[in-house]
Amino acid sequence: MLRFVEPLSPEQARVLGCLIEKEATTPDGYPLTMNALLLACNQTSNRTPFVNYEEATVAAAFDELRTARLARIVHSAHGSRVPKYRHAVGEVWALTQAELAVLAVMLLRGPQTVNELRTRTERYDADLDELGGVEGVLDRLARRDEPIVVRLDRQPGQREERWSHLLAGPPEITPSPARGQVAGGGRLDTIEETLGELRREVDALRSQVEHLLGRD
């Protein structure tokens, strides 16, 4: 974690990631209005997990980022009174567009494999090849005096190592479920529970049919 930044909350990470993403993918609409920033946080594509923030939540997260000098409010040169919102991460930490792209994907989707980062940064207006591809960008971010990303050990059930940003503090390592299972009880448990519910429904329907036929 960077010494001069408090660990980001999930809300702050989502807001910051959205600002970086929209600067790269929709430059004509950047900086963002509060409504556009709210929609970006709550969109269901390119986000993990999905959220449904209220405007007050987004505004509070932005204010905290602004206090940390990671974001700024700007006003139109044409006299519009509608404030707009932008990040300042590239300036504060001297990051390239390629580094920002990789960081944004992690902020918006959590730990990622190299292949996932390679695919998900294609939308960004950034030349990763100039820095040695995704691997080169990750290496630069990890080798800074104060690293911004870290490589996570491959967990059981994972084929590839993942990388995580460090802006929210040391990442929590959640062991991957064994093959054939999912978190929260495992696929087998889920199937058994579903089958149990189906059996109960069938028994209830059978009882109703027998009652209607006068067999009870």
pLDDT per residue as tens digits for the range 11-34:
999 999 999 999 999 999 999 999
Residues 103, 200, single domain; the answer is no
18: domain CATH number?
1.10.10.10
pLDDT at 189 over 60: no
The CA distances from residue 158 to 21, 54, 83, 152, 174, in Å, are 27, 35, 44, 11, 12
Alpha helices (H) along 110-186: 114-120, 133-142
What residue numbers bound the domain in which 97 lies? 10-165
Q: Of 145, 165, 185, at which residue does a domain stop? A: 165
Give the Cα separation of 202 and 210 in Å (integer): 12
CA end-to-end span of the chain = 69
- pLDDT for 192 equals 53
Write down the residue that tokens 């960081």 correspond to: 103
Task: Look at residues 135, 171, 180, 179 and name the one whose alpha carbon lies nearest to residue 153.
Answer: 171
pLDDT at 107 over 90: yes
pTM for this entry = 0.77
Average pLDDT rounded to a whole number, residues 96-100: 95
**In which band, very low, low, confident or very high, does the pLDDT at 209 lie, cut at 50, 70 and 90?**
low
The total domain count for the chain is 2
Give the Cα separation of 142 and 136 in Å (integer): 10
Q: Torsion over CA of 166, 167, 170 and 175, rounded to 10 degrees? A: -80
Inside any domain, residue 159 = yes
Task: Look at residues 194, 193, 150, 195 and name the one whose alpha carbon lies nearest to residue 168.
Answer: 150
N residues, the chain: 216
pLDDT at 215 over 60: no
In the chain, beta strands by DSSP E: 71-74, 84-87, 149-152, 162-165
